[in-house]
């Protein structure tokens, strides 16, 4: 799967870890920055991830910050993006199963490092259940 990833300075460490995990799983990852833990303005790195996913250049996106909240807000301003903030395996499962989330937001300051890989695993492996949710998601994307 082609995955776009971006972070601000507060998510930089987890972004590096995630790139290694995804490469190990065989995913093709493109890093949209930032390239260090020096302070930056997060929308400069998050919006390009969301736009690339929305254009269909990538199947999924991952955005990271301190809490992940601002990153999710910026990504969700892009039409066609369903970015969800996940902090545990259950939130990741429901994000994919019920919301067909195509962008994952994680807060490095709020998610323990040992929980990172299990969250990713569930988010990548859980299929959207479709059904009654699909029609509403399509309607929202069309607005």
Provide the annotated active-site residues. 71, 98
Instruction: Give 3-state DSSP helix, strand, coil % of the chain, rounded to 5.
Output: 50, 15, 35
Q: 124 near 25, Cβ under 8 Å?
A: yes
Q: In the block, which residue shows the tokens 């807060």?
A: 107
Q: How many CA atoms lie within 13 A of 29 on its CB side?
A: 19
Distances (CA, A) of 131 to 80, 95, 98, 137: 19, 15, 9, 11
């Amino acid at each position: 799967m082609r995955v776009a990833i971006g972070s601000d300075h507060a998510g930089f460490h987890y972004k590096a870890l995630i790139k290694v995990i995804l490469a190990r799983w065989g995913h093709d990852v493109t890093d949209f920055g930032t390239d260090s833990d020096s302070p930056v303005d997060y929308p400069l790195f998050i919006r390009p991830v969301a736009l690339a996913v929305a254009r269909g250049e990538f199947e999924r996106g991952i955005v990271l910050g301190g809490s992940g909240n601002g990153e999710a807000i910026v990504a969700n301003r892009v039409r066609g993006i369903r970015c969800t903030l996940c902090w545990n395996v259950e939130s990741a499962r429901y994000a994919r199963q019920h919301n067909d989330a195509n962008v994952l937001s994680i807060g490095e300051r709020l998610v323990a490092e040992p929980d990172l890989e299990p969250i990713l695993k569930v988010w990548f492996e859980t299929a959207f259940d479709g059904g009654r949710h699909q029609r509403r998601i399509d309607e929202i994307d069309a607005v």
